[in-house]
Amino acid sequence: MAELQHECGVAALYHLGGEVSPLIPDRNPRNVSRLMPRMLIDLQNRGQLAAGMSTFDPTRRQILETYKEIGTVMEAFRLSREDKAKKIMEEHRGIAAIGHVRYATCGDNTRSYAQPFEREHGCRWKWFAFAFNGQLANFPELRRDLLKLSDYHLTRDNDTEVLMHYLAHEHRGEEQPNLVDLFSSASQKFDGSYNIVYLNALGDLVVLRDPLGLRPLCWATDGKLFGAASENVPLANLGFTEIHNVEPGEMIIVRQGKIQRHRYAPIRKPAHCFFEWIYFANVASNLDDRSVYVARSNLGRELAWQEMRAGRVKLDGDTIVVPVPDTAKAAADAMAHELRVPCVEGLMRNRAVGRTFIEGANRMDRVKLKYTPLREVLQGKRVLLVEDSIVRSTTLQALLSHLRERGGAKEVHVRVACPPIIAPCFYGIDMSTVRELFAPRFMPRIQKGWKPTVADQDRMAKELGADTLMYLPVEAIARSLNLDEDRLCRACITGDYPTPTGEQLYELSLKQIENGNNNGSCRTYESGDSSGIFPAVGTVDAVARTTG
């Protein structure tokens, strides 16, 4: 959905010493950092708000150097201006680099919130930079605990700064901490999703995946070059061939030319976010040994079988399947193949329209700027419009009107390759209140596990301006991904959360609806009501005393 925002993406690179990998430009170890913008471009699907990197070079005065700017990777690194891009790369050369692309689920859309974050210090092992993909669901409590300490001041209202200060506390003292113990100690207080890439001024690199594996993360080597990224595509496109998953609760440390894998958190049943396959990830990616393309095709076949069972739409020469570009295309192709009707691109997406220009327009104008209906394809047709999901519905309403008025479609039947979104996400997707969601408006009462009837979906269709609407059932997700249900986070379609804070925030979101004191303008965890819902997480001093 155009109205559902992407998450963030992280990446890391390290030359291990010795023979230089042919993947590194000019076979110069200090040029490892030049590969980072290429990796971040392949992660651009995960965030378009800001991009940045931190690099390590022990031969320069500024051992760690961080560069970050607002905009896409092309904009941030000035890649359309060869002279400016070359200058940035020269100033930030290094044998190791960590990188980040950002979409804000938390905090302002300014450069100060862009990542990586760097904490400078005169002691090299206390000087570090890090970037993070995910969201700490309990960050308001973590933040309050920090502010209880004397002389503490936070300059930003986001979980990244809170995470930085917790890591900084684990670095205090006169002895260099064990990195496994450091992250193990911090993880005991974190609730949510957090994939981290960390680089200090000693040249130690950490790549870490949260204990539930909510977000994907993978790594690879090519000779003496180590790489890691949120998805496998950036690594594959650089030339890495053997790509592995970072396991949930696992961290990889690269130090002095050696790669070490450690478990920093106990083994738990994973809770992979199913939305990664449906929407967020690059369609060419393979997440936790499951192809994104195959998963989306399977969802399309599920839609087709459901369509044939329902038999509500006439399938003849006037019927076509049209995907909403781009994430619904694989599902639409598979659905059309099963139904034996044409799948055509009746909607063309304008990729040249800038983000700022779109944001300055009203809803209908944004749709008109972003999508062009092809009247030659749609005129007089019965359209099965395939969408990957419906979150808030406002963009889809405008799009359906656009299809009829400008495209000339005689019927539009919406088919959603996802069950109804009935609950918020507190793990990194920008939908964190019940009230902002479309489907709960049609529930007799807000409840877990709701399954819409045909009558419910007809009322939804009328609200959207569609002739009919049909969702996939919840059980179709696990079938399509070929993963057991209990290995997936499906909180947004079931109301069952994999962490305690998620459950508590959901209850708070329901309470806000009952009390009528939440209009959807602020996130649940930003509400003043959230101050008493979390279990005590202890002070930062207590965190540091455990194992760090």
Alpha-carbon distances, residue 181 vs 167, 212, 265 (angstroms): 11, 18, 10
DSSP string, 66-111: EEEEES-HHHHTTTTSHHHHHHHHHHT-BSEEEEEEE--SSS-SSG
Structure tokens given for 532: 């008493």
- Cβ neighbours of 40 (radius 10 Å): 27
Distance separating alpha carbons of residues 426 and 442, to the nearest angstrom? 22
Within its chain, how far is the Cα of 220 from the centroid?
21
Nearest to 302 by CA among 292, 313, 294: 294
**342-358 residues labelled b (16+ CB within 10 A) or e (exposed):** ebbebbeeeeeeeeeee
Amino acid at 435: R
* Terminal-residue alpha carbon distance, the chain: 43
Alpha-carbon distances, residue 120 vs 53, 63, 95, 129, 153 (angstroms): 15, 10, 19, 8, 17
Structure tokens given for 408: 């000339």
Which residue blocks in 427-474 are alpha helix, DSSP H?
A: 454-464
Our CA angle for 539, 431, 67, nearest 5°, is 65
Whether omega before 326 lies within 30 degrees of 0, making that bond cis, reads: yes
Helix (DSSP H) and strand (DSSP E) numbers for the chain: 19, 23
Let me know if 8 is a catalytic residue.
yes
Distance separating alpha carbons of residues 93 and 245, to the nearest angstrom? 28
Nearest to 219 by CA among 250, 180, 191: 250
Amino acid at 325: P
Whether omega before 116 lies within 30 degrees of 0, making that bond cis, reads: yes
Task: Name the helix (H) or strand (E) containing 336.
Answer: helix 329-339
What are the catalytic residues?
8
